[in-house]
Structure 1
Amino acid sequence: MRIIVSLFLVIINLTALASGIKGTVKTTKGEPLPYATIAIKGTSTGTTANAEGRYELSLAPGKYEVVFQYLGFKALTKSIEVTNETITLNIALEEQALTINEVRIGSKSEDPAYTIMRRAIAKARFHALQVQSYNARAYIKSSGLIKNIPFYAVGSLKKEGIEEGRPIVNESVSEIRFKQPNTYNQRVISTRNTLNQDAISPNAFIMASFYNATVGNAVSPLSPKALTYYKFEYQGSFREGDLEVNKIKVIPKSYGEGVFRGQIYIIENTWAIHSLDLETTAEGLDFQMKQVYNPLQGVWLPTTSRIRFAGSLLGFTGEFNHAISLTYNDLKVNPAFVENVVVLDEKIEKPSSDISKKDLRTKKLNELAAQQKEVSGKQLRKMLKEYEKQDRNERKAQKEDVNVVRSDSIVIDSMANKRNDAFWNEIRTIPLTELETKSYHHSDSVRVVKVAKIKADSTKAKKDSTNFDLMALLSGRTFKLSKQWRLEYEGPLRAQNFTYNTVEGYVLESSLNFIRRFKQANTFYIKPLGRYAIGRRELLGTLSTGWQGRRRGISLTGGRYVAQFNPANPISPSINTSATLLFENNYMKIYEKEFGRLAFNYARLADVLSVSGGIEFGRRYALENLENQRPWIRWNQYAFTPNAPYNREHSHRLNALEADSYYTFAPHNALTLDVALTWKPGQKYRLYNGRKRYLENNNPSLTLRYAKGIPTIGNSAVDYDRVEFDIRQDLETGIKSELHYAVSAGAFLNRRSVYLMDYKHFMGNRTFILYGDSYTRFRSLPYYEYSTSERYLEAHVTNVYRRLLLTRLPFVRLAGLKENLMVHYLLTPMAKHYTEVGYALDGLIPGFPFFRVEAIAVFNNFKYDHTAFRVGTTFKFGN
């Protein structure tokens, strides 16, 4: 009896699943229309055809009006009645005929596209705020095809099931809950792909809205600044039921990263988006997005989207497509936006009356719309600005954090990676192509083989994981000791641990780092480090321990070690090794110290403040070069300099400005204190699963620093006070254009006893390679020549241009290159207006956008001195 009942239920379910429509969407010439949109009129139910034009849509028995759409083709509506069977409905769409309703008269007449776009731009924020909340189900299918794999990756990728010409498929189904102004909650109920079952599809694409000012870091054609970056061309209109839809060509004034080109379709009178087909470029890749909108409760919402990436990167060539189908439920329209606002183009027609300031402050938006009937774009902006201000104040009064720009949460269902084929056949809204089906079958076979191999080798794998082989001993390895503890071992033959300098000769370093992780990103660590100087036959080392939380931390370090005179480490030991052995330039100057340091940091106090600092006591010793040091290459024009740095200020005090008057010091004790307080107002952030992710803040960052040499205690020989004020800001000046500036001014209020390591130092550079912060580092400044114990002013300005000289050429701009103009300035009693004026080109090597080359002209006291050339990176990695 149980078997009979089970079979009966299966038959009922199969019958229910069979109810709906399927077929293909083609042109009248019989060519398939990939990713065509199929929608049920009056509802949010719909689907998207696959790359072959095939579609399937499950429907309960009943009568429906089905709308078939494809950009550039006339929408077709079919009335159907669904029974308990699947109806085959093959559709042929005709190309859309456009009607030119207006023409330009005379050479000075404006294209009618501009009056349409001015109204659409004015109304964009209105449309963005219309929806108060919704629930939606999103089906995403991502498919990729790698056409070329570089030789060095063929073998390893083949083991993972990735080969040239074999599709990579990823599907996911998510439930999305949206609430104004910025809350998106996602629950991934199912995900499946041909590579790793844990991978999640690019759900961020669902949130893209062209009503916002930017989409994917590119300026939207409906941005308030759109007319600065785009020209528009009216291409005609067509009727769709009772609607008139205008086709507008979007033409960037200079195409490249940060701008779109293509077509956007705007509905007459409401000025909402009907559909769009736009493309841009990013990092040398082509990006295309197609969206079709459908009305729901009078609001036009995107129901289907297609996103395409194609191009070459790091030797890989391929194409990736993302098809997104959205079904909305529980849509709530914001009551303040129910009343339609008629927007006039101020250039053609002005409203009959203005809105009083009293009405603007006291009346609600829908009341103003009903009262005013017709508004200009300027009036509508005022209305929306006041609405958002009042809404912000209300949320603030309800104790909401108004600094949250966006709140996202993603929860992955425990069954998301375990759904079977029957589940996918029921829930999938875009049919698989034949190639995609074969790809799934192939990946399933590969996965079965891998699982079998892992099981067969499990004993061997466990044994291998505990081995400490020769390579681990020399280079290092990370060991998982338990769920909370891990050990990070760095071996002596890592590049950064095996170095050379003229004081110690060859140096080997090695460290152990025992890390204990707690909840909420809290970490405790103990790190012993050993350093053996082969030339000196000296063993040095330190022991560090500390605790680091999400916003605060404390550390204690002590031992015997060497340090550069500039604690910011202006030259890395690795670069110094190359400069010393290959070019006979021993730029790094070091001294030895026995020390203990207690440091702390408390970041983003109240989201705008951070404080850090430390106190150190140590005994400091001078070091000299080893005798008979030899570079690998002997240059006649170079020679090793003493380990003691040359400093103009020190030499001046000795009345000896000769270059061979180097800084020396006697052993001494030093107790020093340093504190920095940073204030960056207006900090905004996103919430991701409840955790804050701070955004780029365009407001200036202000820092006050204080350094103190404390005399007497512990026989400390230092006695000084230094105060410094910094201001730094990063600004967007246009599409992919930025202005970065940093100004620092300070002075020693007291310098009764100051050693060179306590001077104010500047980030100099004498090597051909530049690294670190490219915005605040000098390119050709000697490392210690202009260090000072008096007053100083330091300034750096860099302007990054998307379109300047070479980038005016389209093929250069499309390759992702950027040009920089920079000025670096220093004023001290010994540095009389030291100035560097430079030009840099980022992204010169295709596929490596972070690589840069520079040419710098150096001036002393506004007189030309020399020209320097540098290569480097825009990455900020450690010194």
Structure 2
Amino acid sequence: MNRICLVLLLSLAQILASHAQQFKLSGHIKDPNGEAVSFASVYLKNTTRGTSANIDGHYSLNLEKGSYTVVYKAIGYKSIEKEFKIDTNITQNVILNPESYTLRNVTISASAEDPAYQIIRNAIKNRKHHLTEVKEFSCSVYIKGLQKLMAAPKRFFGRDIQKTLELDTNRRGILYQSESQSNYHYKRTNHIREEMIASKVAGRNNAFSFNKASDLEINFYNNFLLENVLSSRGFVSPIADMALFYYRYKLLGTSVENGESVHKIEVIPRRQHDPVFRGIIYIADDSWRIMGTELYLTKNTGINLIDTLNITQQFMKVEQHYMPSNINFTFNGNVMGFKFEGYYLGVYNNYNLQPNFPRNYFSGEILKVTKMVNKKDSAYWNTNRPIPLTREERLNYFKKDSIEKRKESKYYLDSLERTNNNFTASKFLFTGYTINNRYDQQYLRLDPILRGLFYNTVEGFGLRYGVTYTKRFEYNRYYSIRPELRYGLANHTLTGNLTANYLYDPLKKAGIEFSAGSGIYDLNRYKTMSTLSNSLNGLLFEKNFSKFYQKNFLEASTSRELATGLQAHVSVEYAKNKTLVNHTHFTFFNWKGREFTSNNPFTPDSETPLFPDYKALTLDATLTYTIAQKYISRPDGKFYTPSVYPQIQLNYRKGIKNVFGSTADYDLLSFEVYQDRIGTGLWGYFSFVAGAGKFLNNKTVYYPDSKHFRGNNSLTALPDLRRFSFLDFYEYNTDKHYIEAHLEHNFAGLITNKIPLIRKLKLEEVLGANYLTQPLKKNYKEFYFGLQRLIFRATYGFAYDGNKRVMQGFRISYGF
């Protein structure tokens, strides 16, 4: 009896195994000329299961035993169907013939409007319907990314590019190669949840791919696309409400696909430098929906970093709707002699348009990556990879993964460190000297000498120098210890401090920090200007803008995320604060009618104490909340994405009296609302910050503890939305109450892009205003306008004290 049962069990197991066994249908897809049809769609008829060919036209589809109808489809080609009985591996090469688009029954005269315009008007009329017709869906997504260098200079900043980037002898090679598989869920409006189930990055066995399906979302039913992605403003869709103002159209022909007429329309910019697309869009008759796109952007449109971006979309019918089957972004560019190209491809499968998401299914987590995502071996990928690797990609995986394994060995890392840790004078002076022990994840960095040199009238010529030791652990946990010394030749004062911090929970952004010692600090807690700028102003222009005081201190702080988007920070500091005076008036050039001012900003002609030496015990607590914060969670941290809603901050700072001799006695409560880069379509983006505060108790408020503002007395300044252009650095602090606001709009080339020659500079117009009211400075206003490019900006502004204009002039800022 037992034998009979055993035989039955074995027979059943064999039957189940035969049914579960998968076979491979593969081959090449080419056109009649033998050229590969890249990224063609291959899917099972009447299903949403399928794949895509790779860039060489090679496809592979895993199927269980059975009979199937397979559809081969590519934009611009006639789709074909083939019947297969699958019971073994099958190789099937396919030739796709170009689609025949005819203009029969259409008469176009020189004076008549092209029929494409009426088709586009119908598409625009139905745009909102198609944008919102699918309320929710789930699907699986495979994303593949590749970036490679096609040419590069031999050396860059003294480094051998071939060795540094591991290129071939022609300085060509793949820089980045990754793939991922995810389950993707969507619900209108803008509710996203994605769970990555597999990830692979060439040469980085412990890395996680940053690929996510939402990055590939591009919906031409929206009026504007790619806002704040490739440019500071969006690009107009060919079927946007205002599209006829930006585009001309030409009907290239009509074909019939599955009984439905599809129009092939060329999209032509009316003006070469408008933020618009070029290429082909396919629109179905009667339903007026998009059936495919072959559109691209060029550098004439104002895109940054790349020269051309091609966007190809293919759709499949799912129930009564059409959903993306694959989306492909192909790009190229040339930056400082580095010529590059690449693509990102998304393949969508297994659609469910009625997922019936449970309540509270969506949260701020838009992508979840677990610890096991990057642990899938080659056998898994060989079975589950929907798009075959090209020969170049297979070799790159083999090469990079082999090198990575070798790099993980102690012998290799020790030999590498012996070379990289070689001490040179240039490192010591200019870039800093680092001693790495990557095997044990320990790093010691010595600051560059030149960066620590400074000059001011309090300390004279001086040096600020530090060393940082860092120990890293798995999943981005680390601690660091930094001792720092500072010495001034004029005041003969040596100060030093030690700072230690520990990030113990990256997922909660939780860490602690401890510091103790002494130092020389700016009287304005927001710092007036960079050390380099102040040094140059003193030595070259006989202006000592920055004023200083000395602090001996002991401080402990902790920060932690309390909930999604809600971050808490608490610190306690005990300090002995001391006023300082100038010890030198040295300058390279003595300017007529100009001399250095004292270190007291309120008595520029005489050295008087700004405040008595005092002790202060201070508690500082801050809550920062970003409304509807979205994030990516990975084992090595929680990564916030830019929010479309404001950030709110509440701060409470208290001077605690009669503890350890502290004489400070105050309570300051402040509130701030901030949002950056609010997209306004073709008009660029808008940013604002508004804040208010009040001292609930101001019995004893010394100058360093009062409320300061980010002023500017200099021609140059560091960029900061909260910075005033003409407000004095120090004079208008307060120990009572205040309201401040800063508004700025960046027009992102709306005007300069229309001026020949000037448009090549890709300048962006800015317009802004600042406001402050407090007991000593009521209704102070600033207005400015100017131009910026990347990290540089030049503006001209006016300052008004009430209704009286008190100052005007240029301001230059840079983001080094």
Which TM bucket (shorter chain)? 0.7 to 0.9
Per-residue displacement from partner, 1:6-39 (whole Å, max 9, x unpaired)?
xxxxxxxxxx989654452146xx7765545455
Partner of 2:309: 287
1:851 matched to 2:792: yes
Check 1:252–1:832 CA distance in 2 against 1; reply closer, same or farther (3 A cut): farther
The correspondence for 2:751, drawn from 799, 805, 808, is 805
Say whether 1:122 aligns with 2:129. yes
Q: Which of residues 577, 585, 589 is equivalent to 1:633?
A: 589
Deviation larger for 738-747 or 469-478:
469-478
Question: 1:586-630 deviations in whole A, cap 9, x for unaligned?
Answer: 211111233333444454x33354444544433332222224x42
Change (3 A) 1:641 1:808: same
SS, match of residue 134 in structure 2: helix
Alignment-derived partner of residue 518 in structure 2: 560
CA distance in structure 1 between the aligned counterparts of 2:410 and 2:477, rounded to whole angstroms:
35
1:468 Cα deviation (Å)? 7.2
The one-letter code matched in structure 2 to 1:642 is S
Separation in 2, partners of 1:55, 1:744: 58
Query: Counterparts of 1:767 and 1:753 in 2: how far apart (Å)?
Result: 31
Closer, same or farther: CA 719–139 of 1 in aligned 2, 3 Å: closer
5+ long unaligned stretches in structure 1 = 1-15, 337-390, 648-658, 844-848
Counterpart CA distance in 2 for 1:246 and 1:481 is 59
Contact kept in structure 1, 2:43 and 2:72, CA below 8 Å: yes
- 1:46-445 map, 5 Å: 67-77=71-81, 86-98=91-103, 111-127=118-134, 129=136, 131=137, 133-135=138-140, 138=142, 140=144, 142=146, 144=148, 146-147=150-151, 149=153, 152=156, 156-159=160-163, 160-162=166-168, 166=172, 168=174, 174-181=180-187, 182-188=192-198, 203-204=211-212, 208-211=216-219, 216-217=226-227, 218=234, 221=237, 235=251, 237-247=254-264, 260-268=277-285, 273-280=290-297, 282-285=303-306, 286-296=308-318, 299-322=321-344, 326=347, 328-329=349-350, 331-334=351-354, 394-396=358-360, 400=361, 402-407=363-368, 411-414=372-375, 416=377, 429=387, 432=390, 436=392, 440=395, 444=399
CA distance in 1, matches of 2:259, 2:376: 45
Tell me which of 599, 614, 633 is aligned to 1:643: 599
SS in 2 for 1:671: strand
Q: Secondary structure at the match of 1:117?
A: helix
| Residue matched to 1:351 | none
- Mean CA deviation greater in 775-784 or 759-768: 759-768
For residue 783 of structure 2, what is the aligned residue in structure 1? 837
Taking structure 1 as the reference length, the TM-score comes to 0.73
Structure 2: runs of 5+ lacking an equivalent: 1-21, 228-233
| Offset at residue 459 of structure 1 (A) | 6.2
Backbone CA RMSD of aligned residues? 4.8
Provide the C-alpha distance between the structure 2 equivalents of 1:402 and 1:239, rounded to a whole number of angstroms: 43
Match of 2:689 in 1: 742
Contact 2:666/2:696, CA 8 A, preserved across alignment: yes
Letter in 1 for 2:359: R
Question: After alignment, is 802-811 or 215-224 more displaced?
Answer: 215-224
* 1:580 aligned to which of 533, 538, 547: 538
SS at match of 1:127: coil
**Which position in structure 1 is the counterpart of 2:576?**
619
Q: In structure 2, give the amino acid aligned to 1:871.
A: I
Q: Which amino acid aligns with 1:857?
A: F
Cα deviation per residue 1:201-227 (whole Å; 9 max; x = unaligned)?
Answer: 774368623448576445684999787
Question: Is the CA contact 1:25–1:90 (under 8 Å) kept in the aligned structure 2?
Answer: yes
Aligned pair 1:685/2:691, yes or no? no
CA contact (8 A) 1:120 1:266 kept: no
Give % identity.
Answer: 24
> 1:380: which partner in 2?
none
Alpha carbons of 1:870 and 1:312: their partners in 2 closer, same or farther (altered >3 Å)?
farther
What are the Cα deviations for residues 427-477 of structure 1, in whole angstroms up to 9, with x where unaligned? Answer: 6845748xx48x949995997899699999776546568877777776443
Equivalent of 1:733, from 677, 680, 683?
A: 680
Q: Tell me the SS of whatever aligns to 2:118.
A: coil
Q: Which moved more, 1:305-314 or 1:808-817?
A: 808-817
Per-residue CA deviations over 1:502-535 (Å, capped at 9, x if unaligned) read: 2112222333445566677665554433222232
- What secondary structure, in the 3-state scheme, does the structure 2 residue paired with 1:111 have? helix
Change (3 A) 1:45 1:695: closer
| Structure 1 SS opposite 2:722 | coil
Shift of residue 289, structure 1, vs aligned partner:
0.8
CA–CA distance in structure 2, aligned partners of residues 573 and 238 of structure 1 = 68
Q: Structure 1 227/408 Cα, relative in aligned 2: closer, same or farther at 3 Å? A: farther
2:770 aligns with 824
After TM superposition, give the deviation of residue 809 of structure 1 in Å: 4.2
Q: Which amino acid aligns with 1:183?
A: R
CA distance in 1, matches of 2:514, 2:215: 45
**Cα offset for 1:706?**
4.1
CA distance in 2, matches of 1:481, 1:73: 52
Confirm or deny: 8 A CA contact 1:21 1:59 kept in the other structure.
no
Question: Secondary structure of 2:133's partner?
Answer: helix
Cα distance 1:22–1:315, how it changes in 2: closer, same or farther (>3 A)?
closer
Q: Is the 8 A contact 1:504 1:536 kept in 2?
A: yes
Matched residue pairs, number? 766
Distance 1:81 1:677, change over 3 A: closer
Structure 2 match to 1:369 = none
> Contact 2:656–2:662 at 8 Å: present in 1 too?
yes
Does the 8 A contact of 2:316 with 2:322 survive in 1? Answer: yes
Contact 2:707/2:734, CA 8 A, preserved across alignment: yes
CA contact (8 A) 2:423 2:433 kept: no
Q: What is the CA distance between 1:482 and its match in structure 2? A: 8.2
